[in-house]
Amino acid sequence: MKLTLKPTEVPFAVGDTVWVDQPYGSVHEFASFQATIMQIILDGGMANTLVIRKPQENHELVITNAIYGMKPVGEHAGSARVNVNVQLLPSEEKLFATQQELLDHQDRTE
């Protein structure tokens, strides 16, 4: 499986002063307002969040963990779904194709 990140242009940068087309004020009495950008949060969902606090041309988002939503089968069929966190960098061996691969891995790490 390959994961491809699509390049995205983020308008403006930290430190820029902009006008915001959004109601503002305690009772939304202003149709828009001016503001300075203090930080930009790029949310990749779940644990994939990048907080930008300094103006830079390029920012790198590195996905280091994966969350797998699992539905148990076999002797645990019908049990509640489980989320499994796997560290990608450095690679963590946590998921295996067969039970024998799992057992072999457990023998090597004991």
Whether the model clears a pTM of 0.75, i.e. scores above it, the answer is no
Answer yes or no: is pLDDT of 107 > 80.
yes
Q: How many structural domains does the chain have? A: 2
Tell me: do 4 and 25 sit in the same domain.
yes
51 and 76 inside one domain: no
Q: End of a domain among 21, 40, 58?
A: 58
Pair 90, 46 in one domain: no
Identify the band that residue 84 occupies on the pLDDT scale cut at 50, 70 and 90. confident
pLDDT at 48: 58
Q: pLDDT, tens digit, for every residue of 20-53?
A: 887 777 787 876 788 888 888 776 555 556 777 8
Burial class (CB in 10 A: 0-12, 13-18, 19+), 41: exposed
How far apart CA 95 and CA 55 sit, in angstroms, is 39
- Residue 2: HSE in the Cβ half-sphere, 13 Å Cα cutoff: 3
CA 48 to chain centre: 2
Q: Which domain holds residue 5?
A: 1-58
* Average pLDDT along the chain: 79
**pLDDT for the residue numbered 43:** 63
Which has more pLDDT, 77 or 46? 77
